Amino acid sequence: MLRYTPKMQLAIRFMVKTHEVYQKQKRKGKDIPYISHPLTVALILARAGASEDVIIAGILHDTIEDSVAHKRVSREMLEERFGPTVAELVESVTEVSKSVPWNERKGEALARINTFTDDSVLLKSADIIANNAELLEDYALAGVATFDRFSEPKEKTVGHSLRVIEKLLAKWPESPLAGDLAGMAERLSAI
């Protein structure tokens, strides 16, 4: 059994083109290449024992949401290259357009968790863990100024993450990442 498959290698190449080559995307408010995030999500999924398709979806999870207009990534494109399972998983965690107001966009994403499969829960859990581990690390270094780079204040940003964690834990309490999520909620509640 291969641990690092040609399909994973293709997904990494596709993700790097989408986030780095076409737009030099950075982590919010930092000079860190965005590609570090999907690779972290994939690593969390691999450590959780996820399937190849779920790990690949982790690598690609922001490609639809964050692709540039002239190189737009679609569900159909992902399905053609990586299969229907990967495309469905990526689509399940993709937020509606960033032109939609924050409250509406985040509310829709929160409600969608009710429809998640276990694999979607696992994928979204890894994303939440990666994002919030980085947020907590930044907060330990810069304090409340960390939230200056966000469109919403600390209370709203952290509150949304806590609601997502609560919904994910309720949807699949036996998830291999349930303990990580619970620990993340505890750490977020303390800031």
- pLDDT band at residue 168 under the 50/70/90 scheme: very high
pTM beyond 0.85: the answer is yes
Over the stretch 107-160, which tens digit does the pLDDT of each residue have?
Answer: 999 999 999 999 999 999 999 999 999 999 999 999 999 999 999 999 999 999
**Is residue 98 pLDDT above 90, yes or no?**
no
* Cα gap 20→86, rounded to integer Å: 21
CA distances from 133 to 86, 106, 142, 146 (A): 25, 19, 14, 13
Per-residue pLDDT, averaged over 25-48, amounts to: 96
Per-residue pLDDT, averaged over 79-84, amounts to: 98
Domains and CATH numbers, the chain: 6-92 (1.10.3210.10), 102-189 (no CATH)
Please say whether the beta carbons of 138 and 76 come within 8 A.
no
Catalytic residue ranges:
65-66
Residue 99: the pLDDT is 85
The SS3 assignment for 26 reads strand
**Is residue 79 pLDDT above 80, yes or no?**
yes
Enclosing H/E stretch for 54: helix 52-60
DSSP 172: -
DSSP for 58-124?
HHHTTHHHH--GGG---HHHHHHHH-HHHHHHHHHTPPPPTTS-HHHHHHHHHHHGGG--HHHHHHH
Residue 2: the pLDDT is 75
Residue 97: the pLDDT is 82
Residue 61: the pLDDT is 98
Closest to 153 measured CA to CA, from 96, 191, 124 = 191
